[in-house]
Chain A
Amino acid sequence: MNNDTFEPTIIGFTCNWCSYRASDLAGTARMKYAPNVRLIRLMCSGRLDPTFVLRALSSGADGVMITGCHPGECHYIEQNYKALRRFLLLRRVLKGMGIEPERVKLVWASAAEGAKFAAETTTFVEEIRKLGPLNWGKTDGGSQTVDREELSTVHRPSSEMEAIA
């Protein structure tokens, strides 16, 4: 597939207090950004169970954007630090699984940073576009036909992970 015409699908996790409000602000201010990200609102980035990310990637997402309050500004005092810790670990796990860790990104965005939210989203979409489709979970009955053989060499561990995710 030509990466230039590839439109990635991205799941974005947002914190109810900052980044979700940043996305609201981007909307209110009519800022335009790439339409590839679909958001899920959590109460806090600390709620983000890393298996959610694996679930999204195995269900057809090409990338996952995790967003939260800036360090020191967490609505729940310090839970975004826990999100940061999990994010760093998750990236290593992904690498071990043969998935580019760059497919998961962490962005801090306060409720006032609608512009940052919009810009980061657009940048991330371009980054994922360059990486190309992930095609995890599309080996059995997905809409896209993928060479099973090729997939098993590229993303071998992903089929093992499916049971977990």
Chain B
Amino acid sequence: MSEKKQERVGVYVCHCGTNIAGTVDVVDVAKWAQEKLGPQGVVIAREYKFMCSSLGQELIEKDIKELGLTRVVVAACSPHLHEKTFRTAAKNAGLNPYLVELASIREQVSWVHTDKAVATAKSKAVVSGAVSRVIENRALDEIKVPINPNTLVVGGGIAGIQSALEIANAGFHVYLVEREPSIGGHMAQFDKTFPTLDCSACILTPRMVEAGTHPNITLLTWSEVTNVAGYVGNFHVTIKKKARFVNEELCTGCGICQEKCPKKVIDDVYEAGLGYRKAVYTPFAQAVPNFPVMDKENCTYFIKGTCKACEKFCPTNAIDFTQQDQTLNVDVGNIVLATGYDLFDARRVSNYGYGRLPNVFTSIEFERLSNAAGPTNGNIVMRDGKTTPKSVGIIHCVGSRDKNFNNYCSVICCMQGLKFAHLVHERTGATVYNFYIDMRTAYKAYDEFYQRVLEEGTLFVRGKVAEVTDAARNEREKGKLIIQTEDTLAGKQRRIPVDMVILSSGLQPRHDAKDVGKLFGISCSMDGWFTEKHPKLDPVATMTEGIYIVGCAQGPKDIPSSVAQGAAASARVLDKILQKEIALEPIKASVNQEMCSGCRICNGLCPFNAIAFIEDDKVTEINPALCQGCGTCVAACPAGAISGTGFSNEQIIAQIDGLLLKNLELA
């Protein structure tokens, strides 16, 4: 370590106006660095009012050229603010940008300490640490990898459809994978959409058809992604295409098989358990694609070995009972996850009686009830299928904003509850009560809709409902569902008897979101939603390059926001495709195979599958394109065979010694 070329270090101490200079004696810090750190290699130490200004940058660039600096330390703000600025300045002056270190004496010193002498002393230590470290920095080059122009979109709800269409319209190929038999997602189940009361199907189905017939979209429904390997620009994806038992080449979607199938099954997916489908079915009339799937578990032929009514009547011989699951391998450059949400299971709030009291409905059940194409042809009736309710209670925040279930606000339930109130009013003339904690009607035209529902005569009770019960206390309550609630505005308890209760259930992460996250190498938040790269400035990207999250997979949101995110992710994908190649940060781990003993301790540590063991040579290898640079394997290697660029052992140990001013003794 001692016989090394002496580096020529420049130290630049920023005043940041008075932000730093107000608490730190910057002149003293610069003087100290020049004097005390001289033996280490500091040839110049300057202070300047604003180092990040063009004049400040020019000062550094000039010194690099004229004094032949080989390393630069800027003692200023956090590297997250201006590291790029000073790296670019170094690059402009012909110095490798990775030979620059920032010493944060603003966020870590002047802004958080008050005593000037103490702050100045700490600044010196921080500068000393950075100087020691920068000497150990190595020139690095960005890593370039090509981008495959194909894209995988997972999830065929409105967010996924939007994303797929945007990319396909730009002329690039998209694989749209959907787990259910048809694309459309939750939006296909809805009757009306708030606040405009557009018919959901009327605005959605044209998009579905467009996605289904687009020459640049390969639609893979009844399919699931089973494996993802590779990295940004070069993902290798394995997709399981489940057997439909219907030959898609031959099927015309005429629907005769569904008509002839003798087996009726309760449809608890699309119809939310209120209606029936056949064992061979398309979930709804406008399904895209329009090929049915066979439900193996309920099909009489698969159970008893006899029936085959569908096969007999199919005019094109498309029914194929021998069909097997298929495995497809596709290569893509980017992946958009639009996997959506699960509805909160209202049974969990047992005091609201869902599943026990027949006339308590969930929001999705009500959507199907009010849908003209639904099981009741749009008649809002009670569980007996014929009685129109005279009074309806709508309970908000079921499973949301509740410490016992989910802390977060599910965003859509207020507007959903208002929409239900309007529809009940319009179609039945019933008295409608809304029970809410807070009314959250942000966004365009939402509050106007609230005003409209208020004017229609819907009654609002502010308070969390304690219980829904059928235990009547008097004649008035007999045969009714009684909603026991606190009215926080009137400051009293109320018991309100109604015929029907609708629970405005919240949204939840998909039950398998964690597994899906693992599959694609992205993480979930505490609540279970996929984590975005930055909650404000990068809401559709993830920490894994090339993987984007859109729609409710990222968190509860309404249709316009889902569509916006779908489009936003497409812009990001197109940006990547058009760049043709991508530069990766050169913070990577690598194995010195001479030193590797093949112990495989590091092998299980990498969540990005970047570490592979070469059986023939009995050594480990790291794929630089997969490596995200966390450095966990570097720290774990007992032989010290793994090194990490940008954060090497030498750099960190030098910084430790520098921060503790041990370098002053050594020099």
Contact = CB atoms under 8 A, between A and B. Distances in A.
B113 A52 contact: no
Given A42-B647, A52-B652, A31 B112 contact: yes
Residue from A30, A31, A77, A142 with most neighbouring chain B CB atoms (10 Å): A77
A141 B80 CA distance: 38
B635 A35 contact: no
A78 to B, nearest CB: 5
B111 A11 contact: no
Contact of A73 (B108, B525, B628): B525
B119 A35 contact: yes
B665 interface: yes
A142 B660 CA distance: 12
Nearest to B607: A77
Contacts of A23: 107-108
A75 to B, nearest CB: 5
A27 B16 CA distance: 14
Residue from B632, B659, B661 with most neighbouring chain A CB atoms (10 Å): B632
Interface stretch (B121-129, B201-209, B237-245, B482-490): B121-129
B232 to A, nearest CB: 15
B129 A40 contact: yes
B38 interface: no
Interface in A50-96: 50, 52, 55-56, 59-61, 70, 72-79, 82, 86
A55 B114 contact: no
B543 interface: yes
A42 B646 CA distance: 9
B605 interface: yes
B318 to A, nearest CB: 44
Contacts of A26: 107, 112
B632 A38 contact: no
B83 to A, nearest CB: 10
Contacts, number: 138
B662 interface: yes
Contacts of A35: 109, 112-113, 115, 118-119, 122
B652 A59 contact: no
Given A24-B80, A40-B656, A82-B605, A47 B647 contact: yes
A32 B531 CA distance: 30
B631 A42 contact: yes
A42 B628 CA distance: 13
Contacts of B522: 77
A47 B644 CA distance: 9
B414 interface: no
Interface in A15-49: 17, 20-21, 23-24, 26-28, 30-33, 35, 38-44, 46-49
Contact of A76 (B119, B607, B647): B607
B78 interface: yes
B614 interface: no
Contact of A43 (B605, B629, B656, B660): B629
A28 B523 contact: no
B114 A32 contact: yes
B224 interface: no
Contacts of A78: 607
B129 A38 contact: yes
Interface string B600-630: 0000010110000000000000000000111
Contacts of A21: 80
Contacts of A158: none
A30 B525 CA distance: 28
Given A23-B108, A40-B655, A118-B112, A59 B662 contact: yes
A12 B194 CA distance: 51
Residue from B125, B631, B661 with most neighbouring chain A CB atoms (10 Å): B631
Given A79-B630, A82-B636, A28 B107 contact: yes
A28 B108 CA distance: 10
Contact of B659 (A40, A118, A142): A40
Contact of B635 (A20, A27, A33, A49): A49
Given A28-B107, A30-B112, A72-B526, A41 B79 contact: yes
Interface string B542-558: 01000000000000000
Nearest to A48: B635
A27 B630 contact: no
A9 B126 CA distance: 12
A43 B119 contact: no
Contacts of B605: 46, 79, 82
Interface in B92-107: 104, 106-107
A43 B104 CA distance: 16
A75 B129 CA distance: 26
Given A27-B78, A32-B114, A72 B635 contact: no
A44 B630 contact: yes
A8 to B, nearest CB: 12
A55 to B, nearest CB: 5
A11 B79 CA distance: 19
Contacts of A73: 523, 525-526, 531
B375 interface: no
Contact of A49 (B118, B587, B629, B649): B649
Interface in B64-106: 78-80, 104, 106
A77 B126 CA distance: 30
Given A43-B587, A76-B628, A79-B630, A61 B660 contact: yes
Nearest to B525: A73
B653 A55 contact: yes
A116 B629 CA distance: 27
A72 B524 contact: yes
A74 B636 CA distance: 18
B369 interface: no
Contacts of B657: 55, 59
Nearest to A25: B107
B573 interface: no
Contact of A11 (B107, B656, B661): B656
Contact of B521 (A33, A61, A77): A77
14 contacts: A30-B111, A35-B122, A39-B108, A40-B652, A40-B659, A43-B646, A44-B632, A50-B635, A72-B525, A72-B526, A76-B632, A77-B521, A82-B632, A86-B635
Interface of B: 78-80, 104, 106-109, 111-115, 118-119, 122, 125-126, 129, 518, 521-526, 531, 543, 587, 605, 607-608, 628-632, 634-636, 644, 646-647, 649, 652-653, 655-657, 659-662, 665
Given A21-B80, A30-B111, 10 more contacts: A20-B78, A24-B78, A32-B112, A43-B587, A43-B630, A49-B649, A50-B635, A52-B652, A73-B523, A79-B632
Interface of A: 9, 11, 17, 20-21, 23-24, 26-28, 30-33, 35, 38-44, 46-50, 52, 55-56, 59-61, 70, 72-79, 82, 86, 118, 141-142
